[in-house]
């Protein structure tokens, strides 16, 4: 029981990171109906920006960790949001009226560009970071297996819940959210009604990139090691989470992220770690066979 509880905690923490990245995929798809395959590499850029800024602050002697982490988070969100805006301007806006495969190919090209850009500027080796947030809580200390709930895991879970609620309220209650929902239904009609479609789509990319930056920040603090290739691996899993939960649904993205995280963690704990990705993608295949729109996705109705 104790071992199961420990893996449950680990899986929820990992799934929360996947869920934050998956929200970016699902927001972009919800508005323009296309997948931003450069999103995982935006996440990767966010981890490197966070690492560089944090090391810079430590170098100049900013020793108060909470302030340093806040500065790192804000800077990485702004820088990563700029990358997200750039991807939309270069890879999507010029091709928005083209056939659907063109922006997909361009997004894959942007992903490769970002990977190689970071590899050239930061090197191909792993970049480590010493533990910054330590400590936590211990349960069942009298038993054979002690359950640990670290402060870092608490921070990840709480941050994910807060951001999920905030973005849900933003889309449901604000004028930007109404503009996003209008663009999702019919971009041409939204434009005729006075909505700036280009700005709305750009802001959606910026918001998704900022969320990816938060996820990258959490990933860096949680695992303490990054490289230029993590964007592809983590991005594919987050995309899988978005599809599993129902692409276009924010709660579905979070649910899919949690499911993927739990499958990976429990499979690694009880079976073999080499096949954890096989288990996760097999679950996706099974869900799509019986629920093609995902767990919480809406069935699309084509108007004729």
Name residue 148's beta-bridge partners.
138
Q: Per-residue DSSP letters for the chain?
A: -HHHHHHHHHHHHHHHHHHHHHHHHHHHHHHHS---TTHHHHHHHHHHHHHHHHHHHHHTT---HHHHHHHHHHHHHHHHHHHHHHHIIIIIGGGTTS-THHHHHHHHHHHHHHHHHHHHHH-SS-EE----S--EEEE-TTSSS-EEEEHHHHHHHHHHHHHHHHHHHHHHHSHHHHHHHHHHH-HHHHHHTT--HHHHHHHHHHHHHHHHHHHHHHHHHHH-EE-TTHHHHHHHHHHHHHHHH-TT-HHHHHHHHHHHHHHHHHHHHHS-GGGHHHHHHHHHHHHHHH-TT-SSPPPP----
Decide: pTM greater than 0.75.
yes
Tens digit of each residue's pLDDT (9 = 90 or more) over 140-178: 877 788 889 999 999 999 999 898 888 888 888 889 888
| Residuewise pLDDT in 10s, the chain (304 residues) | 788 999 999 999 999 999 999 988 888 887 777 788 889 999 999 999 999 999 999 888 877 888 999 999 999 999 999 999 998 888 888 887 777 778 788 888 999 999 999 999 998 899 999 888 888 898 887 778 888 999 999 999 999 989 888 888 888 888 988 898 888 888 888 898 889 988 998 999 999 999 999 999 999 999 999 999 999 889 888 988 988 888 878 888 899 999 999 999 999 988 888 888 888 888 878 888 888 888 887 665 555 4
Q: Which residue reads 């899919």 in tokens? A: 256
Please give the pLDDT value at position 257: 92
Check residue 280 and give its pLDDT.
83
Residues contacting residue 113 through CB under 8 Å, at least 6 positions apart: none
CATH of domain 2-290: 1.10.3470
pLDDT of residue 33: 74
């Amino acid at each position: 029981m104790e071992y199961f509880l420990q893996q449950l905690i680990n899986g929820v923490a990992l799934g929360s990171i996947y869920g934050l990245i998956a929200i970016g995929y699902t927001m972009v798809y919800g508005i323009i109906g296309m997948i931003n395959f450069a999103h995982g590499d935006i996440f990767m850029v966010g981890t490197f920006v966070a690492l560089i800024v944090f090391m810079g602050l430590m170098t100049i002697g900013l020793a108060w960790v909470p302030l340093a982490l806040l500065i790192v988070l804000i800077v990485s969100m702004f820088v990563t949001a700029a990358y997200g805006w750039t991807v939309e301007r270069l890879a999507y806006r010029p091709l928005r009226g083209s056939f659907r495969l063109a922006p997909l190919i361009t997004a894959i090209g942007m992903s490769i560009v970002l990977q190689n850009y970071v590899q050239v500027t930061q090197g191909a080796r792993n970049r480590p970071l010493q533990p910054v947030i330590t400590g936590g809580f211990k349960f069942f200390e009298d038993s054979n297996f002690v359950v640990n709930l670290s402060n870092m895991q608490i921070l990840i879970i709480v941050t994910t819940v807060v951001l999920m609620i905030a973005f849900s309220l933003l889309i449901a209650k604000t004028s930007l959210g109404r503009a996003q929902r209008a663009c999702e239904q019919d971009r041409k009609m939204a434009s005729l009604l006075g909505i700036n479609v280009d700005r709305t789509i750009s802001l959606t990319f910026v918001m998704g990139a900022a969320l990816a930056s938060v996820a990258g920040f959490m990933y860096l603090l949680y695992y303490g090691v990054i490289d230029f290739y993590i964007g592809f691996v983590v991005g594919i899993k987050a995309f899988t989470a978005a599809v599993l939960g129902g692409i276009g649904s924010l709660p579905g993205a979070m649910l899919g992220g949690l499911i993927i995280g739990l499958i990976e963690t429990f499979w690694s704990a009880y079976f073999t770690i080499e096949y954890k990705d096989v288990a996760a993608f097999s679950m996706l295949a099974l869900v799509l066979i019986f629920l093609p729109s995902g767990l919480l996705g809406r069935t699309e109705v084509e108007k004729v």
